[in-house]
Every structure is written in structure tokens, then in C-alpha cells.
């Protein structure tokens, strides 16, 4: 009988933890949506369906890891190929993750 309350409290902890993680993911997706609208949508389209300047890959064809890998050199200040300076500069690691999460969570 003593185990039952522990199971209930353990379940409560799991539910609270899941709620926290879901809330954090939602916050990252919201941040990613804003960053995408500000920096990406003009060239990549509303849903990531376009090749920017007709040359890049469609974001809808990329995984989150591929998007992060593509953006990380820009974060480090390495030379860009064609992305405008404003679009590529000043992204933090957290912002890159948020952009990648948003770009891969949207419906095509």
C-alpha cells in the first residue's frame, strides 16, 4: 500500500516534467516562427517550399540537423555564399535550433 502513493507522486512528476518540456518546445517553435518570418520566408517561402534564389535546397527537404549544420558556419562568422548579411548574422545556437525545429515541424 505504501508504494501506491509513490507511484502517484512519481506519475505527477512525469506529468509535470512532460508539461515543462512541451512548454519549452512550444517556446522554441514560437521563437523559430518569428525568426523564420523575419529572416527566411522572403526567399524560402512561407513553408520552406522554395529554393532561395533558385539555388539552395528546399527547407522542406532537409532535417533539423541539416538545417543546423548549414547555419552554424554563419554563426561563427565564416564567409557566406549568397545569404544576405542580415539574414545570416547574429544567430545564437539557441536561435539556430529554434529555426531548425520550426522549419521541420511545419506542415508542407
Q: Return the pLDDT at 60.
A: 93
What are the tens digits of pLDDT across the range 55-94?
888 999 999 999 999 888 777 777 656 666 666 677 889 9
**Any idea where the domains of the chain sit in the sequence?**
3-105
Nearest residue to 91 via CA among 68, 69, 75: 75
pLDDT above 80 for 49: yes
The reported pTM is: 0.66
What topology is assigned to 3-105 in CATH? Cytochrome Bc1 Complex; Chain D, domain 2 (1.10.760)
Backbone φ/ψ region at 44: left (φ over 0), alpha (ψ -120 to 50), beta: alpha
The residue with cell 516534467 is: 17
User: 105 and 62 in contact (C-beta within 8 Å)?
Assistant: no
> What are φ and ψ of residue 101, in 5° steps?
-65, -45
In terms of residues, how long is the chain? 108
Nearest residue to 30 via CA among 106, 83, 93, 108: 106
Q: Return the pLDDT at 65.
A: 96
pLDDT above 50 for 3: no
User: 60 and 49 in contact (C-beta within 8 Å)?
Assistant: yes
Amino acid at each position: 500500500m505504501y508504494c501506491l502513493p509513490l507511484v502517484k507522486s512519481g506519475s505527477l512528476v512525469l506529468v509535470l516534467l512532460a508539461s515543462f518540456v512541451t512548454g519549452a518546445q512550444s517556446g522554441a517553435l514560437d521563437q523559430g516562427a518569428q525568426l523564420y518570418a523575419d529572416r527566411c520566408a522572403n526567399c524560402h517561402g512561407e513553408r520552406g517550399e522554395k529554393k532561395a534564389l533558385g539555388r539552395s535546397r528546399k527547407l522542406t527537404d532537409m532535417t533539423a540537423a541539416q538545417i543546423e549544420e548549414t547555419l552554424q558556419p554563419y554563426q561563427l562568422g565564416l564567409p557566406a555564399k549568397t545569404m544576405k548579411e542580415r539574414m545570416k548574422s547574429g544567430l545564437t545556437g539557441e536561435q539556430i535550433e529554434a529555426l531548425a525545429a520550426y522549419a521541420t515541424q511545419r506542415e508542407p
